[in-house]
Homo-oligomer: A and B are copies of this chain.
Amino acid sequence: MKSSILSLVLLCCSLFAQAQIVYHNADQFPLYGKATEATATRYERFPDSLRNISRKPLWELSQNSAGLAIRFRTNSTTIAAKWELLLDRTMSHMTPVGIKGLDLYSLENGEWKFVNSGRPTGKSSQNTIISNMTPEMREYLLYLPLYDGVTALEIGIDSLALIDQPKVEMPTQNKPIVFYGTSILQGACASRPGMAHTNILSRWLNRECINLGFSGNGQLDLEVAEVIAGVDAGCFVLDFVPNASVDQMNEKAYQFYSIIRSKHPDTPIIFIEDPIFAHSYFDQRAARELSNKNKTINELFRTWKKQGEKNIYFISSQKMLGDDREATVDGIHFTDLGMMRYAELIYPVIKKNLKK
């Protein structure tokens, strides 16, 4: 009789504990995806020293948390999150989850598996990401918003569960991959943060990937090359053609490249062509611009090769998005279908050339 009562009390306590969610500040857990630690607040991408140097739109985009991810482990049966956004931005061609939500993955037999996304409800969000799990200790990776800034983040777990530092270093932080580019690279228009192609590639390659994509502003600003050059990377991917004009490429692409190359004489640097935008099959002006830009980057690359530049690679966009023209939401920005096809194209090239 006594033991039945005790069991009942214990069961009630356990159910109560599971229902009670306690929040832990994410600041105590490792953050992946940053080019520099010298940022004003934790979840932004540029060193604070660029605040009055970079163009305003570029600086503001550097405050978007694209490509950043928190690592932790817990045995909680529920995982929730509270997060504060800088802007609470909306866009008509992207889901709020992709713009300003969270995305949780867990390690299963050495592979990152999608658990669920954290759906935003406003400037301040509090939401359960997953519940009803068995109380096993698991490693987690929580991707931050692609197109908004995060000013505060807390992770919620069952009140009696444990949350701790990750035990496994995965993705490996050693020699990360730095990607520089545009809105597409920043993650437009992935349905959720984990589907930005730099995040897909990070999971596939088991390497930290640093996302320096800046919507509309991948225009070869030279101070960004300095930030990139500051990373002891295993590979650099320069994917600026959708934003850089022919003039900007002719004027600045070599200098941008040289800033990186001078500090990393033998690190692979990959250049990527402008995607063949779906609407350019109909929009003649878009087709001409695309053609001119790709002619320019091809000519520049050939010239550099002739000049004897080593360890530079070029990826054609011919097969980037498949041949059905279905992989974008607006002709330009990749859906998850486009992100997956892009990742499949880039993966073997990086894999083959990545420095250990």
Contact = CB atoms under 8 A, between A and B. Distances in A.
Interface of A: 90-97, 101, 106, 108, 113-117, 119-121, 130-134, 189, 191-192, 194-195, 200, 278-279, 281-286, 325-331, 335-337, 340
B97 A117 contact: no
A65 B178 CA distance: 44
Nearest to A79: B282
A114 B281 CA distance: 9
Number of copies: 2
A278 B134 CA distance: 16
A192 B336 CA distance: 12
Nearest to A326: B114
Contacts of A327: 336
Given A92-B120, A97-B329, A113-B281, 12 more contacts: A92-B101, A95-B329, A114-B326, A116-B331, A117-B330, A131-B283, A133-B282, A191-B329, A326-B336, A335-B335, A337-B337, A337-B340
A326 B103 CA distance: 11
A279 B128 CA distance: 13
Contacts of A91: 96
18 contacts: A90-B96, A92-B101, A92-B120, A93-B96, A95-B329, A97-B330, A113-B281, A114-B328, A114-B331, A131-B285, A132-B283, A132-B284, A133-B282, A189-B191, A191-B336, A200-B326, A335-B337, A336-B337
A106 B326 contact: no
B95 A117 contact: no
A41 to B, nearest CB: 25
Contacts of A92: 95-97, 101, 119-121
Contacts of A195: 326, 335
A95 to B, nearest CB: 5
A284 B121 CA distance: 26
Nearest to A129: B279
Contact of A117 (B96, B133, B283, B329): B329
Contacts of A101: 92
A262 B229 CA distance: 72
B340 A284 contact: no
Given A117-B330, A329-B95, A283 B130 contact: yes
Contacts of A115: 279, 282
Contacts of A282: 106, 115-116, 130, 133
Contacts of A191: 93, 189, 191, 329, 335-336
